[in-house]
Amino acid sequence: MRSLIAKEWRESRALIFGFLILAPVASVLIKWLLVGFKATETTDSLVFIIPGAFALFVFALSADLAAADISSGRIAFFAALPTSPAKVWAAKTLFLAGSALLYLGYALVVETMILALAGKATAPLMGPEAARMTLPLTAVMTAGAATFLFSTLIDRGFAAALAGFGMVAGPWLVLGAIRKNIGGFGIDLEAASLFACVVLIVASLSGSAAAFLSGRVHLKARLRRVLVAGLAFLLVLLPATVWAGVSVRNWLTIDAGDEQVRLGGGRPTPDGTWALLSASRRGKGPFGAPSPQEDWAVNLETGVVREFGGIGWFMGGDEEFAEGPGRLALFRHSKAPDGKANWLRVVYDLNTGRPLSTRSVQRSKLYGWTSIPWGLHRLDITRSPRRLLTADGRTFDQPEGWRFSPATAPWGVGLRRRKGGVSYSFGVLLFDTGEIRELSHHPHSLPDDPDGFAVSFGQPIRRIPLAGGETEEIDIGKPNSRSLSPDLRFAVISSSAGLYLVRSKDASIEKIEDETPVRGGPFILWANDSRTFLVLGHGPSLKGTIRDGHATVEQVQVSPRIIFPVHFDGSRVLGFGAGHGSYHVSELDGSSRQLLPVR
């Protein structure tokens, strides 16, 4: 093997020495004549000079690597020796790879020296910024491998270099065009490009190896060579492409049988038979594919799952159930051919899963869904600054420097702003006057009266007079979990001292129980009626009912232990069961039924 590599070196020596001299000379000339030493930026070296020099070298070396030997028939010299063609191929490949990498290192060092002599910063070349070169350099290596492949097939060096260049430039241009039109689905194009480059490199190397091994390069019959190489190339390319496509597709599709799905945002239909959930995946998928989102309706009685949505679908807030029981209205956002946004309203029959009607709607009619529920009001997040849409139809833009907080009352909304670092300051915005009152602590619950007391949950609990004055501290032990009712009128807090009920309207706090079901902090779920709640324990749990502003609890049994609760409808709990790896609907008597994933 050593003498084979030495042979390649002997034959390419002049070329390599030429490039060793060319790199610094060209770099200096470019800086001196074209850009000017003063105007030279280190980033130019990163983006143009080094990849450019590397590219020229790789093309020049790989173009003739196989072509010269094959076209001249010299390859027959080796064919007559007891040397396997695999060795000849391996020697050429190793020589190409080794020389390319050494040259790259050389170009980096030389460029660093030139920049240093010119008095420019050299740090970016070594530091994390150098990672910008990764994709261009990988693309060059891909072109080099492709050129080597073509060098084996075409046995004309220059044509091989052109073909290799084309194999990389072509897809790159196509990709640019796709990106303009489709936007890439949010996939990380850089990661995808790197993957494609690696696949192409492996495919090209397989193709050239196949040509040597079974394509009989020492004979003039080119057809066989091309077929064998093409087959090997495709055997690498196709499975890799399919795998990539399938992985992305698998990531982007979620179905009810998927165990890795994350469920959240459960809310019931008015008749309580279905729970609407949003289903998504955690994190980012292959090539940075965004996490998909779907909306599911799960029938709590039968366990049937209806999947809706995907990219472009939206639940419609208030409009969802406007069609009556067993019906769901969804909204779909699409682009019409004239480029204008097109909104569709589709009504589904939940029992059959089939769409019943579709019609176009104007954007103004969809007022409801461009905003998200925000306590008692709605928040339009499509605008900047964000805009609050009050329950009584008024609109308020987010005051400058402030952000709306989830605490809402009919008369106003909570605010918070960053004071620097991790400290915040708080306040409330009064709708009637537009006045902003600054507060010392975060108002988690607001009273009925703007001059009443807000309650700030923490340790200790604070009652803050909104009209100004001293803040009252109430010690209820160390709080470990809390939950506000959907209508924001009550809050249940669990602490080391027990279970407490907070009434927003007058900021009153009363103890419900001396013992909390879970010392570390139980999950607290509210039913939609805002009068029934469930404090989840590891088995024994508490179901609470609020009457006349006071809460009473009774012991219930929830099994399996829920580690991720989704929805409580007053009599049943939908959640992810510990140790079961799936979602269950549990009755309060200890029985349960597995719903998802659907097996």
Partner 1 sequence: MSTAEPITIQGLKKRYGKKQVLTGVTLSVPRGVTTALLGRNGAGKTTILRILAGLLPRNGGEVSVAGLDPWKQAIRVKAITGYVPDAPMFHPRWRVRDAMSLVKSARRRSWDEREARRLAETFQLAGSDRIGALSKGARAKLSLLLALSHHPEVVLLDEPASGLDPLSRKEVLGTLVEIMEREGAAILISTHRLDDVERLAERVAFLKGGEIVAEGLTEELRTGRGIPEAQLEHPGLTELYAALLDREQEKREVQPCAV
Contact 422, 412 (CB under 8 A): no
Contact 575, 565 (CB under 8 A): yes
Least Cα distance to 205 among 141, 140, 294 occurs for 141
Site for partner 1, residues 388 to 417, rule: CB under 8 A: none
Nearer to partner 1, 5 or 244 (CB): 5
Which range in 70-78, 282-290, 408-416, 588-596 contacts partner 1 by CB under 8 A? 70-78
Nearer to partner 1, 219 or 563 (CB): 219
Nearer to partner 1, 5 or 518 (CB): 5
DSSP string of 176-214?
HHHHHHHGGGG--HHHHHHHHHHHHHHHHHHHHHHHHHH
Q: How many Cα atoms sit within 13 Å of 220 on the Cβ side?
A: 2
Which range in 76-84, 167-175, 313-321, 399-407 contacts partner 1 by CB under 8 A? 76-84
Q: Is 3 in the site for partner 1 (CB under 8 A)?
A: yes
Q: Is 218 in the site for partner 1 (CB under 8 A)?
A: yes
Q: Is 311 in the site for partner 1 (CB under 8 A)?
A: no
Give the C-alpha distances (Å, rounded to integers) separating 38 from 34, 75, 115, 531: 11, 51, 11, 73
Among 18, 73, 98, 325, binds partner 1 (CB under 8 A): 73
Please list, residue by residue across 102-115, b when 16 or more beta carbons sit within 10 angstroms of its beta carbon and e when fewer do: ebbebbbebbbebb
Minimum distance from residue 232 beta carbon to partner 1 (Å): 19
Among 26, 162, 191, 219, binds partner 1 (CB under 8 A): 219
Minimum distance from residue 76 beta carbon to partner 1 (Å): 6
Site for partner 1, residues 517 to 536, rule: CB under 8 A: none
Nearer to partner 1, 81 or 121 (CB): 81
Site for partner 1, residues 78 to 137, rule: CB under 8 A: 78-84
Q: Is 77 in the site for partner 1 (CB under 8 A)?
A: yes
Q: Is 312 in the site for partner 1 (CB under 8 A)?
A: no
Q: Is 17 in the site for partner 1 (CB under 8 A)?
A: no
Give the C-alpha distances (Å, rounded to integers) separating 369 from 98, 115, 379: 59, 56, 10
Contact 445, 454 (CB under 8 A): yes
Q: Is 18 in the site for partner 1 (CB under 8 A)?
A: no
Q: At what angle do helices 189-214 and 134-154 cross, to 10 degrees?
A: 20
State the Cα–Cα distance between residues 266 and 289, nearest whole angstrom: 25
Q: How many Cα atoms sit within 13 Å of 27 on the Cβ side?
A: 32
Among 25, 32, 35, 72, binds partner 1 (CB under 8 A): 72
Quick one: which H or E segment has residue 145?
helix 134-154
Minimum distance from residue 83 beta carbon to partner 1 (Å): 5
Strand partners, 347: 329, 357
Minimum distance from residue 98 beta carbon to partner 1 (Å): 19
Q: Determine the residue type at 125.
A: L
Q: Is 222 in the site for partner 1 (CB under 8 A)?
A: no
Q: Is 76 in the site for partner 1 (CB under 8 A)?
A: yes
State the Cα–Cα distance between residues 94 and 100, nearest whole angstrom: 10
Minimum distance from residue 154 beta carbon to partner 1 (Å): 19
Q: Could you identify the residue written with the tokens 């790896």? A: 581
- Site residues, partner 1 (CB under 8 A): 2-4, 6-7, 10-11, 69, 72-74, 76-84, 216, 218-219
